[in-house]
Amino acid sequence: MDALKQELKENIIEQLNLEDMTTADIGDDDMLFGDGLGLDSIDALELIVMLDKNYGIKLTDPKEGRHIFESVNTMAAYITEHRSK
């Protein structure tokens, strides 16, 4: 699980062009949207594509995303349970 969290942090930084951040700047429980990393709706679309491409997870219900993308911890837990690749 720790390796997956590290991988997620690296992918978030790369995919979302968070140029000034390192994986150490993102806590496992940090809020990704709102007051946390301050991600926005375009970032949410990028993360949905990332789940599909990297882990074979297709999010069909947009409401699911709110919980899944709360933090690196919630993302890692969902991926571990639902990944197909």
Partner 1 sequence: MKNVYINSVGSVSSQNTTDDADFLKEIISYNDTTIPALNPNYKDFIPPAAARRMAKGIKMSIVASKIALQKANLETVDAIITGTGMGCLHDSEKFLSAIIDNNEEYLTPTPFIQSTHNTVGGQIALEIQCKGYNFTYVHGSNSFESALLDAKMQLELDEATNILIGGVDELAAHTILLNKAIHHIKETPVESSKVLNSNTKGAIYGEGANFFVLSNKKQDSSLAIVADLQTFNTLPIQSVAEKAREFLLANNLHPSEIDALILGNNGDVEFDTFYNHLATTDFQNVQQFVYKPWIGEFNTASSFGVLLATNILKTQSAPKAFQMNNIVSSQYKTILLYNQYRGENHSFTLLRQC
Neighbouring CB atoms inside 10 A of 5's CB total 19
In whole angstroms, what is the distance from residue 68 CA to residue 54 CA? 16
| 81 in contact with partner 1 (CB under 8 A) | no
| 18 in contact with partner 1 (CB under 8 A) | yes
Q: Of 1, 10, 14, 17, which lies in the binding site for partner 1, with binding defined by CB under 8 A?
A: 17
| 49 in contact with partner 1 (CB under 8 A) | yes
Give alpha helix (H) positions in 16-71.
41-55, 62-68
Sole window of 16-24, 28-36, 65-73, 77-85 interacting with partner 1 (rule: CB under 8 A):
16-24
| 42 in contact with partner 1 (CB under 8 A) | yes
In one-letter notation, the amino acid at residue 74 is T
